[in-house]
Every structure is written in C-alpha cells, then in structure tokens.
Chain A
C-alpha cells in the first residue's frame, strides 16, 4: 500500500504499511519482568481474561495489552483539584459501558510532579510510592489505570528501574514490608488515554453530534510519549505510525478533523515548577509555541490534551496573552472530556467546563450543544445542594 492521504488538513489520517524498525536495540522490559516473576523475585499484576484486554502496538511494534474492565482508578491530584471534569468524564463513560471499577480514598498521588519540579525525592521514594499504589490495586484484584501522564511516565520509569536494579528492588521490598505490603509490578503500565484509544469505536457509537466541521489540534503530552517512548501506542493508520496515536485516534473515530500544526511536538510549557513559580516562561511558551500556531496555522476549534499539566497550562495561560496583543484563543480539554461532551454528557455536571478559563462556549455552539440550559440546571442544582440536597453521584464507595 502506498501512503494514502485523505485529510486535507494534515497528517492525522495518513495510513502507511511502513513497518517500525527500532534502529536501536532496546530490551522489552515486559519479557524481563516475566522472567523475574518466574524466578520468584517479584509478583506481577497480570491482565486477565476478566479485564477484557484489547491489544495495541507500541512505537517499536511491540504488543501492549490494554485492560478495559475491572479497573482501579489511580487519580491525578492536578486533575481532581483543578479539572474535575477530567476524571468525571472517564467514570461517566465507564458507567455508560457497564465497566466495573473502584475509585477510593486509599490512594496517594504519585509525587512525580513534585519530584520533577523540585528534586525533593529520589528513586527509592518514587518507586516505593508507585509500588504502594500498585499493591493497593493488586489486593483488590483490579488492574490500575493511571489518569495522569506524569504518573504514567514516572511509573513506566520506576517499573524499568525496578526490573533492572536488584538493589532498588530490595530497598523498595524492605519498605513495602514495613507498611504491610509487597513488591508487585503491573504487567503493563496503562494510561487512561490508552483505554480511551482502544475503546474509541465503542465511544463513537455513543456520539450525538456531527463533528465534520470541527477542527481539532492535538497536543500529545511529553510524559506520555517522550518518557520511555518505546512504551506508548502507535498505529499505522494514524499519522502513518509516526506519532503517537492516542487522543488523535478517538478524535478521528468521532468524525472530527484533526489538523496539523508545526509545533505539535513541543511541550506545553508546564515545566512542573515553572507553571507555579516561574510563570513568565510557561505562558510565553504557551502562546508562542502552542496556541498561536494551533489557531493561525490550523484554525483550530479545540485543543485536545491527554494530561493534567498540559490541560492546565494551555487553558489558563491564554488570557494573559492579550497583554502582548495576542488575540488567538482556543478552548482546551482532554480527549475524554471532548468525547463525553459530544456523546451527550452534561456540560456542567459531568464535563465541568465551568472551571476552564478559556471560552469554550463558541465550541459548544458550533457543535450544537445547548450550554445555557445546562448552566441553568447546574445553578439550580447548586441551590438545592446549598439547601441540604444530596449529590447525584456517578459512583458510591464500595461497602466494606
């Protein structure tokens, strides 16, 4: 098959039968993990039949099993604290599809945002936190699903370091025994965007609106595809397998146009510490390297993200651009939030766009979503809650 380009806007929809070649010898850590398990060195959280896995391909053509059921939600503090519609949209889809999961209080953050921002941890601390959370999923008989791309990048790195270093394993095992846990490692480290990717055709069945005139630009997260790059999903039918397929895949399945822009590979400017305490760098980067190219080159209606930090950085830093005379603006939301929106999830109660700073209303109007009605209902709901009403939850804690 020759290269086939069917999208006038860019490369997203390019297919190729090009076979990935490594060009370099990298060891498949998955194989080594199973060897360690066979020697009794570690316990492995396996993906079982009941997890209903779907297979995907990674950068070097390796297979990766993505569990789609019986999941343990490993939340992201940046999402839960600041973009609540992110995890809510994911749970909303899982409810629509009858997927079993647990979301509970017994989870710590991965602490990797802090590490990459301040250096105030070390590999033993990071790996012990990771294993602690993996073990919690293990004891519940569930497979962990990581919401944050930084968690994903960090946990991929910790898994690799643990597999490669006996000293680290011994130290982490010692700490785990102290807190009544054990050294366990998941068979695959799975990001929620990978779940969305393999479920994209199921998601698309729920679609309520025509998206053929919606132009999206995708910002792939650095810690998804640049950290441990060999462990990230690529697909020969998306960007001809030359860029990570996650997020773009679901947008194409939903029938949106995914447009190209010259700085797609750039990071968002988050910088871990910079976004909090050196924001001039973050916001300049956001406007000059991401938002302006997305709007000027691609006429983007929406910027689609797959991570906590990127969603925050790209959304929050557009307003200040006006001080530089930059008028370009584009609403920012994660793939799963956009998908929920166009599958009929409530704009305010589920997708929770009210927390976002860059105006998303024109996008809703373009799609045909009545956000005003949704706002009125939400405000009435807040009044009910103020008067002592009860929240209509998507999920209740398991009774233990």
Chain B
C-alpha cells in the first residue's frame, strides 16, 4: 500500500468503489439499510457511542449516501467499536440495522485482510485459535490471573487445582480443563468441514497467516486421529 506525506494510506478510488459494491451485494444489505430519518434514536441507545467516536446514525447515513469515499472512512478502527448489541436495530423506526451493516463491513475487512482488522484482532488470536481448532470459544484454562488482572484477586481461584474442581462439576461433559465441554473428535471434524466449505479457514488465513498455520496443524492432527 502507498502512503502520503502524513503516513495516511493512499487508496485507489476503484478499491473504495469495490468495497461499497461488495457490501451492497450482500444478501442482507436490503434488509439492514432501508430509509433513514437521521433521527439519531439508534445513536441515543448505542453503548459504545458513550466511549468512542462512533455513531450508528452516521453508519446508516454514510451507507445511504452511496458515496464510496464516505463508506471507506468507516473501514478502519471505526467498525470495530460496535458492541453488536443490536439496540439500534430494535429501536430504529425504519427497521434499519446499523449493527448488521457493521457486521457486513467487518466481514469485508477481515476477508480482505485489512491492516486495521489485523491490528484489532491480534490480541484476540488466542480465542480464535480455541474456537477454530477445537469448536469452543472459551475454556476454563484460559481464565488466568495474568490475562485478567482487572477481574480481581478471586480470579486465581479458577486457576488453582482446576482439574479437580472441574471433576467436581456433576456433568460429565464439563469435566475437562482445556475445553468448555469435551467436544468429540468426530464433531470437530464436521466443524472443520463446515469451515472449509464456508471459507472460514480462508478468512483466518487472510487476517492472521501464522495463526492459520498453527490451526491447520491441529486440524490435521485431529483429522488423522
């Protein structure tokens, strides 16, 4: 990518147009972008609006403008502020879904491996690994005091004698530490086939190639077991 004298990337107008077309072609687009009153009800109820320079009203207005330049300005950190709570979708008088639009734009950002997406998702790779390779988003052994110091001293409880505490949970599926529940290998293999066929592995490769390699090693091991 080329940069101007201020370090801002120079993005060809064609690419911006492509991005807009890609969003507009998504089969959910018509459902999510209807008319917009510019009333701001969505923004009034939007949680991250309180913390970040982010507004679902702006998201809808920019989409309605059909101006690729304006839409491009949201493709950096902007789209990553959304909490995906869908408060906006529930309260919008026009039944728009700014949160849904954000989901479409994020998909484009990761599919195309944009630097901003890579940066935002870097600290998230541990979770991505767990989910993609083992079929669970979170596992008990991930709750460690060094990852969650702000969760207070009691968080250490979860990491001492974990295996016996898990064994004491009266559901056999839960008596493991490295997964939320003991996912059967045959089940994981089905998930891998879905990820292959739906292009999910490819998306991860574009956003984090080294993580993708680690995942593929695990996938190969499970598949050959």
Contact = CB atoms under 8 A, between A and B. Distances in A.
Query: For the complex, would chain A's binding face be called helix, strand, loop or mixed by DSSP majority?
Result: helix
A194 to B, nearest CB: 18
B3 interface: no
A363 to B, nearest CB: 16
Interface string A93-131: 000000000011111110101111111111111001100
Given A77-B180, A396-B172, A117 B124 contact: yes
Contacts of A181: 190
Contacts of A121: 107, 198, 200, 203
B172 A271 contact: no
Interface stretch (B9-17, B60-68, B146-154, B216-224): B146-154
A129 B191 contact: yes
Interface string B145-173: 00010111111011001001111111111
Contacts of B166: 84
B22 interface: no
A81 B200 contact: no
Given A82-B143, A111-B137, A118 B121 contact: yes
B214 interface: no
B19 interface: no
Given A108-B135, A265-B45, A355-B157, A271 B83 contact: yes
B80 interface: yes
Contact of A392 (B83, B164, B170): B170
A116 B103 contact: yes
Contacts of B124: 117-118, 273, 276-277
A354 interface: yes
A179 B184 contact: no
Contacts of B170: 88, 91, 349-350, 391-395
A270 interface: yes
Interface string A350-384: 10101101000000000000000000001001100
Contacts of B121: 118, 120
Given A87-B171, A129-B194, A226 B137 contact: no
Contacts of B78: none
B198 A175 contact: yes
Contact of A320 (B123, B152, B204): B152
Interface stretch (A8-16, A44-52, A64-72, A278-286): A278-286
Contacts of A396: 172
A277 B123 contact: yes
Contact of B168 (A108, A319, A385): A385
Nearest to A59: B90
Instruction: Kindly name the residue among A78, A355, A394 whose own CB sees the greatest number of chain B CB atoms within 10 A.
Output: A355
A320 B165 CA distance: 26
A302 to B, nearest CB: 18
Interface in B59-103: 80, 82-87, 89-90, 95, 103
Contact of B138 (A77, A91, A273): A77
B174 A161 contact: no
A109 B131 contact: yes
Nearest to A105: B184
5 contacts: A81-B136, A84-B169, A113-B138, A115-B103, A174-B197
Interface of A: 24, 75-82, 84, 87-88, 91, 103-109, 111, 113-125, 128-129, 132, 153, 161, 165, 167-168, 174-175, 178-179, 181, 222-223, 225-227, 229, 265-267, 269-274, 276-277, 279, 281, 283-285, 289, 316-317, 319-320, 349-350, 352, 354-355, 357, 378, 381-382, 385-386, 391-397
Given A117-B84, A385-B168, 9 more contacts: A81-B143, A91-B171, A114-B137, A132-B190, A225-B90, A276-B127, A277-B123, A319-B150, A319-B154
Interface of B: 27-28, 45, 47-48, 50-52, 80, 82-87, 89-90, 95, 103, 106-107, 109-110, 117, 120-121, 123-124, 127-128, 131, 135-140, 142-143, 148, 150-155, 157-158, 161, 164-175, 179-184, 186-188, 190-191, 193-195, 197-200, 203-204, 207
